[in-house]
Amino acid sequence: MNRFEFFRPATLDSAFALMSPHLQAKPDEVGGCVWLAGGQSLLAAMKLGMATPNALVDLQDVPGLRDIRLEPGADGQTMLWIGAMATHASVAASDVVRSFAPGLAALAGNIADAQVRNMGTLGGSLAHNDPAACWPAGVLAAGASIVTHLREIEADAYFQGLYSTALTAGELILGVRFPPSSGLHYIKFEQPASRFALTGVAVARSTQPDQSVRVAVTGLGFGVVRWQQAEKALAANFDFSALDALTVRLEALADMHASAAYRSHLAHVLLRRCVAEISGRRLPQLMPLTRASSPSQGMSHALPDGAKSTAPAPAVRDGFGACQHLAAPAAQVWQAILDPVNLQKSIPGCESLVQRSAQAYEATVKVGLGPLSVRFKSEVTLSDLQPPESLTLGFVGQAGALGSGQGTAQVRFEPTADGGTDLHWWVQVQLSGRLAQFGNRLVEASARKLSAEFFQRFSAVLHLGDGQTPSGVQQRGIAWRAIWSSFKNFVQRVLPFTRK
């Protein structure tokens, strides 16, 4: 690991004092000063070189952060407080939690293995916000609030996608405040090695007169999400029979462990089981389990409780892609997107973009996602250029000891009736080394997130340059497509290795 300073303050005030300006001076280069909770995610990322903090502030000795207690709420209801440094094991063993919300104690008691449960913390899990972690689902379903030293954030506003939260730099989670519920239950279908959720579902029923229901799903690949269609069905009739008409297939991502259709099917099955547990009703008689050749090839057959997903299985196609509408004609978009100056301004984290030959480029891109940061070097070649309609590129990227990858990207420019352009892209990637151990779902999730940021930047650059057509750059810069796709593939293939 890189060199870093280590502090272990004994008070909260001294902990905040350590977040000094000189430790935060160059966060883009060294990661600044970072809070250390249980270390089950952060230290693994540091060992891989994916997080390089300038300093760690260990919170182990700070008093009060491990408290688990009941306290009065603003509306007179009794609330459950769990401190940020409370370990999963301590939550599972707490009589206070068991009496107030036994579903939360059960959730904590089934996280990973004994080492992780005794070292990992509630606050660390929420700050990391792994897309297959258990705590985010329980917190979101419960409608809890995350309390920091600056503010109180409702769960709906806190979770913002893949490894992303509402926390600002240096903001410290003090604890989580849970409202009472008439029932809360969480069930996950585990990936056997990591014990993270291939899919996990949490259901909570409010104690309020309206008996509102909240359903949260983890493990789909985009981060924890609420299942609003299921919530409406259960609010009208809290019984698993109310889910028979639920035909919506949840959007999910596939990887080497399970297909998107399989994950969506699991969500339907686990939801029925959660509702049965809370309502105290038995599910229908078990039906025979027909084994698919493997979860990664999908599963449309019944699981043991007889629940069947009515959603059609998606067509299988290697790779991933998307479409973005731009308010400019295709010829202008073609010229702008081939301009390396525009691209370097648009690509998130692009540090350099250099043309090595007429159709070959090199780029260095640093990707930051939550506490993680990785720098990639990519070589890109362009081919099949048909201006202003389409092009193909090949790319090879290196991530040092983590491995390498290569692939192709197809880009198509389609004029629209409003005078704009739909930019379609599709990427296929092959990875080697450690990167090849991980699946595609986090790759796609990251690509979707960063693509939104790219197009937001590119659209601004495009409109600033309206009426200005660059000359002599018709075969430049689509390197961004390779860079942009390959480094996201690299980062998101590696991210699961950093899990708690």
Same domain assignment for residues 271 and 344? no
Same domain assignment for residues 283 and 325? no
pLDDT at 117 over 70: yes
Residue 308 lies in a domain: no
DSSP letter at 357 equals E
Residue 406 lies in a domain: yes
Domain count, the chain: 3
DSSP letter at 6 equals E
Rounded Cα distance, 5 and 296, in Å: 43
Q: Angle at which helices 479-494 and 441-464 pack, to 10 degrees?
A: 150
The predicted pLDDT at position 63 comes to 95
Same domain assignment for residues 358 and 467? yes
Same domain assignment for residues 191 and 133? yes
Residue 51, classified by CB atoms within 10 Å of its CB into exposed (0-12), middle (13-18) or buried (19+), is buried
Same domain assignment for residues 247 and 337? no
Q: Where are the beta strands (DSSP E) in 317-458?
A: 320-326, 350-357, 360-369, 372-386, 390-398, 404-415, 421-432
The predicted pLDDT at position 320 comes to 67
The predicted pLDDT at position 497 comes to 41
Mean pLDDT over residues 9-34, rounded? 72
Taking only the tens place, the pLDDT of each residue in 369-395 is 555 566 778 887 888 989 899 988 787
Judged by average pLDDT, the poorest of 10-19, 153-162, 340-349, 426-435 is 426-435
Judged by average pLDDT, the poorest of 69-73, 88-92, 327-331 is 327-331
Residue 304 lies in a domain: no
Average pLDDT, the chain: 80
Same domain assignment for residues 257 and 324? no
Same domain assignment for residues 128 and 247? yes
The predicted pLDDT at position 264 comes to 93
Mean pLDDT over residues 390-417, rounded? 80
Segment of 75-84, 341-350, 395-404 carrying the highest mean pLDDT: 75-84
Residue 471 lies in a domain: yes
pLDDT at 100 over 90: yes
Write the CATH number for 256.
3.30.465.10
Q: How far is CA 289 from CA 56, 244, 453, in A?
A: 49, 19, 44
- Can you give the residue range of the structural domain that contains 408? 320-498
DSSP letter at 407 equals E
CA angle 343-399-263, nearest 5°?
Answer: 90
Taking only the tens place, the pLDDT of each residue in 42-63 is 888 788 777 788 899 999 999 9
Write the CATH number for 396.
3.30.530.20
Pick from 251, 249, 248, 254: which is nearest to 297 by CA?
254
Same domain assignment for residues 409 and 360? yes
Residue 315 lies in a domain: no
Predicted TM-score (pTM) of the model is 0.74
Q: How far is CA 320 from CA 13, 255, 360, 445, 485, in A?
A: 48, 12, 24, 10, 10
Residue 475: pLDDT band with limits 50, 70, 90: very low
The predicted pLDDT at position 407 comes to 75
Mean pLDDT over residues 403-421, rounded? 85
Same domain assignment for residues 153 and 289? yes
* % of the chain surpassing 70 pLDDT: 75
Same domain assignment for residues 17 and 83? no
Taking only the tens place, the pLDDT of each residue in 217-231 is 999 988 999 999 999
Segment of 29-38, 221-230, 433-442 carrying the highest mean pLDDT: 221-230
The predicted pLDDT at position 495 comes to 46
Same domain assignment for residues 47 and 118? no
Considering only residues 385 and 37, tell me which one the structure prediction assigns the higher pLDDT.
37
Q: Which residues contact 366 (CB under 8 A, 6 or more apart)?
A: 28, 349, 351, 373, 374, 375, 376
Pick from 264, 265, 254: which is nearest to 296 by CA?
254
Write the CATH number for 23.
3.30.43.10
Same domain assignment for residues 9 and 105? no
Residue 213 lies in a domain: yes
φ, ψ of residue 398 to 5 degrees: the values are -120, 135
Residue 305 lies in a domain: no
Residue 248 lies in a domain: yes
